[in-house]
Chains A and B, each alone.
Chain A
């Protein structure tokens, strides 16, 4: 029977989930595998596990509950060990590394912040601050939309202006939130976000952080911010400085598909 691993904590963790429900249908019971002063939060691994919503939620829920009472290193979804013995082997072998991370993350949670532009608001902003663009737009309207060349010209200018605004907003968001955080990590890059950044926040500083988020909202009304947290510190399980989150550089528009 293979073993699904949710996360790793110190044995001294006061309240590791035990008997609660994990992944699978029916949901497998969550238990711990202990070795070397560390405890892996695990359950039996269901056959044919897939990243379905129910299971993703279960993974997240188990970690969230554990994290509430003490630091837990969250595993990426879908980590499966051949059996409990190999989990013990890993705990024994890499105890030092796990302990270092658990210590570093104690009392801290992750907040993920995503920003998008409210496009209409941004376009208005761009037109208001670029008389040239406004003029072109007016002229095109007067000409019933304008010729192909005129529309291209206008669109090109607008796109450049919006891109510059994206870069500026991303940087601004970063600068305003970073001081309230203990760590920063770029979120996985994806289309459609002006910024996607995770912040490691001390539990004692959560109010300061959310206040900073409100300041960003007030400062940039054309930005829509989505804040998710507190989360298990998914983005901070590895040591070392976080990858540069923002800015990605004004005007840098590469489309590298990896």
Chain B
């Protein structure tokens, strides 16, 4: 059971160990009040009890459309458009009432990686695992340059 850091078992191809456990490193673990903690300004761990699917008019319409599209497809496993579909649905679902928070955090997380990658001598960036975040980050205010507000890299 000796494995690399952090060991990972996942299906569906390559993935990022760190990205998946980032929240644990940042939001779990021992906290001792006598110690100071590094400012995580900008790295807001999402505290949203938002299920993937949030009830909103926007979501309803998106899902109706998604169903219709599925209906038109043939066969149970015709998934060529799946990633896009997933991205669209979940992004709009989460966007319902929490867009600012969600996209903001997605930006900061991706930005943290961006920074790290810049300083990591080409170490491979963890493949971000889900279209919604990527999309949220991309569709957030002002793309990647807009993330500068989060964690100033000099």
Query: Contact residues of A with B, CB < 8 Å?
Result: 2, 5, 7-8, 25, 49-57, 59-61, 64-65, 68, 73-82, 86, 89-90, 94, 110, 112, 114, 116-120, 123-124, 127, 133-134, 137-138, 140-141, 145-146, 150-152, 154-156, 158-160, 162-163, 166, 185, 187-194, 196, 198, 203, 206, 210, 213, 217, 224-232, 234-235, 237-238, 248, 253-258
Query: Contact residues of B with A, CB < 8 Å?
Result: 1-3, 5-12, 15, 17-18, 20-32, 34-40, 43, 45-55, 57, 59-68, 70-72, 76, 79, 82, 85-86, 89-90, 94, 96-98, 101-102, 112-113, 115-117, 119-120, 129-130, 132-133, 151, 153
| Chain A hits for B68, CB < 8 A | 137, 140-141, 145-146
Given known contacts A89-B34, A154-B67, A234 and B29 CB-to-CB distance under 8 angstroms: yes
Given known contacts A80-B38, A81-B34, A255-B54, A137 and B67 CB-to-CB distance under 8 angstroms: yes
Query: Closest CB of chain A to B22's CB: distance in Å?
Result: 7
Closest to B47 in A: A258
| Chain A hits for B66, CB < 8 A | 119-120, 123, 158
Contact B28 A237 (CB under 8 A): yes
| Chain A hits for B129, CB < 8 A | 226
- Nearest first, the 9 closest Cβ-Cβ pairs linking A and B are A53-B116, A155-B60, A78-B38, A76-B29, A155-B64, A190-B46, A234-B28, A151-B64, A258-B47
| Chain A hits for B112, CB < 8 A | 51-53, 56
A193 CA to B133 CA, complexed, in Å? 12
**Residue among A8, A145, A146, A154 with most chain B CB within 10 A:** A154
